[in-house]
Structure 1
Amino acid sequence: MRTFVAIEISNVDVLDSIKKIQNKINIDAKPVNLENLHFTLQFLGEITDEKSKKVIESLNNIEFSSFRINLKGVAAFPKPKFPRVIWIGTDENGGQMLIQLAKKIEKVLEPLGFFPDKRFKPHITIFRIKKKVGDITKELNEQKMTDFGIQEVVSFKLKKSKLTSTGPIYSDLEEIKLRK
């Protein structure tokens, strides 16, 4: 099964703000469904049921406190002139807290043979772009300072991703709640 570790976006006001931006940005791209919005802390790829049990056991050893993330700004990967993904970023403090949590996850999963495929950059993907859409710098600049609100982080999840022709279907394998 295809898996990843993530923090879901559950604040209804934040989700409403994101939906408004998805409707406002007029490009030929597929918006990510609101129920699929998340921060990917680490992508694990294909693992067996047996390996998932070891991952869950390791993740449950992580201690962390709750924290808040202010979702802010809209940008693109790799760049606005040739976008493949449009994403929302975070405030400095929330971003640092996400990076610290991602490092804890990385540390407990390394002994199981998992290593991040790239450096963690706190972001939520809101559009995936398959076709060439051209330069969207102007559209992104108009949303650069948008404040989407605050997401409280009290847990993270090991999630399963099933790829389908209509997009991924995510399901929870385990929720790891905060322990101080």
Structure 2
Amino acid sequence: MRAFVAIEIQDESILDAIAKIQSEFKISATPVSKKNMHFTLLFLGEITEDTASSVKKALSTISFKKIDVNFTHVGAFPNPRSPRVIWIGVDDTSSKHLVDLASQVEKKLEPLGFRPDKPFKPHLTIFRIKNKVGDILGIMEKFKKVDLGKYNMTELKFKQSILTPSGPIYSDLQVILAQ
């Protein structure tokens, strides 16, 4: 199974605000659906049922407090002139807390052979771009600063991802609640 550890966004008002931003981008790319909005803390890739069981055991030892996440700006990887991903970022305080939680996940799963391929940078992907869309610097300027409200993050999730032609289908394998 294909799996990852994530924080889902489940606040309808924030999801609606994100959908509104997505609608402003007149580009040839499929937006990430509201039901699939999440921060990926660690992508695990293809794993076996036995490994999933070990991951659940390791994740069950994680302890964290709720995190207030403030969404503050829109960005692009690798850059707005030639984007492959368009994302929404968070303020410095939210970022620090999310990085700390991602680090805890990495430490718990490292003994099982999981390591991040790059340092965790908190971002919520709103578009994945397959074909070149050109320079989006102009539209990005409009969203240099946004205020989508505060999301009260209280759950860490171990998720399965099934890829389909109409997009990924995610399901929960485990939910860890904030203390």
Deviations along 1:112-158, one digit per CA (max 9) or x if unpaired, are 11111111000000011111111000110111111111111111100
CA shift, 1:71, in A, is 0.9
Name the structure 1 match of 2:163.
163
Structure 1 residue runs of 4+, over 2 Å off? none
Distance in 1 (alpha carbons) for counterparts of 2:72 and 2:88: 6
Secondary structure at the aligned position of 1:147 is classed as coil
Counterparts of 1:123 and 1:12, CA distance in 2:
18
Quote the residue 1:140 is aligned against.
140
What TM-score does the superposition give when structure 2 sets the normalisation length?
Answer: 0.98
Percent identity for Structure 1 against Structure 2 = 51
1:173 Cα deviation from its structure 2 partner: 0.5
Name the amino acid aligned to 1:78. P
Letter paired with 1:92? D
Residue 55 of structure 2 corresponds to residue 55 of structure 1? yes
Contact kept in structure 2, 1:11 and 1:150, CA below 8 Å: no
C-alpha displacement of 1:167:
1.0
Matched residues, number: 179
Any gaps of 5 or more consecutive residues in structure 1? none
In structure 2, give the amino acid aligned to 1:163.
L
Shift of 1:36: 0.1
C-alpha RMSD of matched pairs (Å): 0.7
- Residue deviations 1:75-108 (CA, integer Å, cap 9, x gap): 1000001000100000110110000000000000
Q: For the residues of structure 2 that align with 1:25 and 1:132, how far apart are their CA atoms?
A: 14
| Contact 1:6/1:42 (<8 A) preserved | yes
**Which position in structure 2 is the counterpart of 1:30?**
30
Listed one character per residue, the Cα deviations across residues 40-67 of structure 1 (whole Å, up to 9, x for unaligned) are 0000011011110110110010111111
